[in-house]
Amino acid sequence: MKIRHPEKVKNISNPIKKKPKWIRSKIVNSQVFFQTKQVVNKNNLVTVCQEANCPNITECWSKKHATFMIMGDTCTRGCAFCDVKTGKPGALDPLESFKVSKAVKELNLNHVVITSVDRDDLDDGGANHFKEVVSEVKKNNPKTTVEVLTPDFLRKGKSYEKVLEANPDVFNHNIETVPSLYLKVRPGSRYFASIDLLKSVKEKKPNLFTKSGIMVGLGEKKDEVIQVMDDLRSANVDFLTIGQYLQPSVKHFPLDRYLHPDEFKEFKDIATSKGFLLVSSSPLTRSSYHADEDFKKLREARLNKIECRQPQ
């Protein structure tokens, strides 16, 4: 059997801390869950919901909310926190854009999130493939809004601009953690490269909603999280998500602690005061959690902001 995380095999085993009572995902007994699963399986698609072992999968799939992960199920990076398979990826599926578009139509989605593994093996990091998938989804589902959750396209020049050519409605790239933890948590990534990507996207498309997320509970300090908020606001990011890190296995990055819901509420209040249009902060918050509802809130928040600026 192929090892899922070969780069983590020799890691010291870190026991997983018992979850507190507030870390409980919703168990939903719903036929809709199995309908969503059937659509995903028959179109031979990959979802981050499954690959990243998301705690919200039953709740989201019971609402027909699935986050499609394109370009395969194998990532070229080895982030210490992530449960997505790592190794040498296969060739891109030339029919993937049609499969995703078909699944979006079958699920009758108002809003869809499309993400991917990192593909450092590709000259453009997979940006053109992103463009093809988003374009096909929009062409065949004109009423569906599309949110992309992209890699950092590190050392790929301005390849990210290809994604923008498909006119997504939200551009999301997760910062994930604070700068001091990057070399341990995200050794293949660079903090300020991610900040620059988000800044460049906003400069290129000022009206495009931008979004980023951070995990907490890895050993970061409160003032470091606040500094990340400031860095994201300097890049004019509109939407911030903050969620609890959940250690996938004993070989993954060790969990430092579980934050209390009151701490997430405090982070939300601080981030809101800094000018984000929208902040989602809770133990089970994830990038795509409630993405449909949040997109509506984003549009409303922007309209309210514009109205407040107009002279009375």
115 domain residue, yes or no? yes
Whether the model clears a pTM of 0.85, i.e. scores above it, the answer is yes
196 domain residue, yes or no? yes
117 domain residue, yes or no? yes
Q: Would you say residue 181 has pLDDT above 80?
A: yes
For 153, the domain range is 28-309
Work out the average pLDDT over 59-77. Answer: 85
Of 214, 286, 249, residue with least CA distance to 67:
286
7 domain residue, yes or no? no
33 domain residue, yes or no? yes
Confidence band for 31, pLDDT divided at 50, 70 and 90? confident
Q: Which residue has the higher pLDDT, 310 or 190?
A: 190
Alpha carbon distance 238, 302 (integer Å): 9
Q: Would you say residue 50 has pLDDT above 80?
A: no
Of 201, 199, 193, residue with least CA distance to 176:
193
226 domain residue, yes or no? yes
SS3 294: helix
Percent share of the chain, pLDDT over 90? 76
Per-residue pLDDT reduced to its tens digit, 244-295: 999 999 999 999 999 999 999 999 999 999 999 999 999 999 888 888 899 9
Alpha carbon distance 65, 289 (integer Å): 9
Alpha carbon distance 304, 105 (integer Å): 31
CATH code of the domain in which 134 resides: 3.20.20.70
142 domain residue, yes or no? yes
pLDDT for 252? 95
Between helix 261-273 and helix 222-234 the angle, nearest 10°, is 30
4 domain residue, yes or no? no
Per-residue pLDDT reduced to its tens digit, 85-122: 999 999 999 999 999 999 999 988 889 999 999 999 99
Of 245, 256, 186, 190, residue with least CA distance to 219:
256
pLDDT for 26? 65
Alpha carbon distance 106, 100 (integer Å): 10
* Structural domain count, the chain: 1
Q: Would you say residue 33 has pLDDT above 80?
A: no
Q: Would you say residue 28 has pLDDT above 80?
A: no
What residue has token string 């009758």? 108
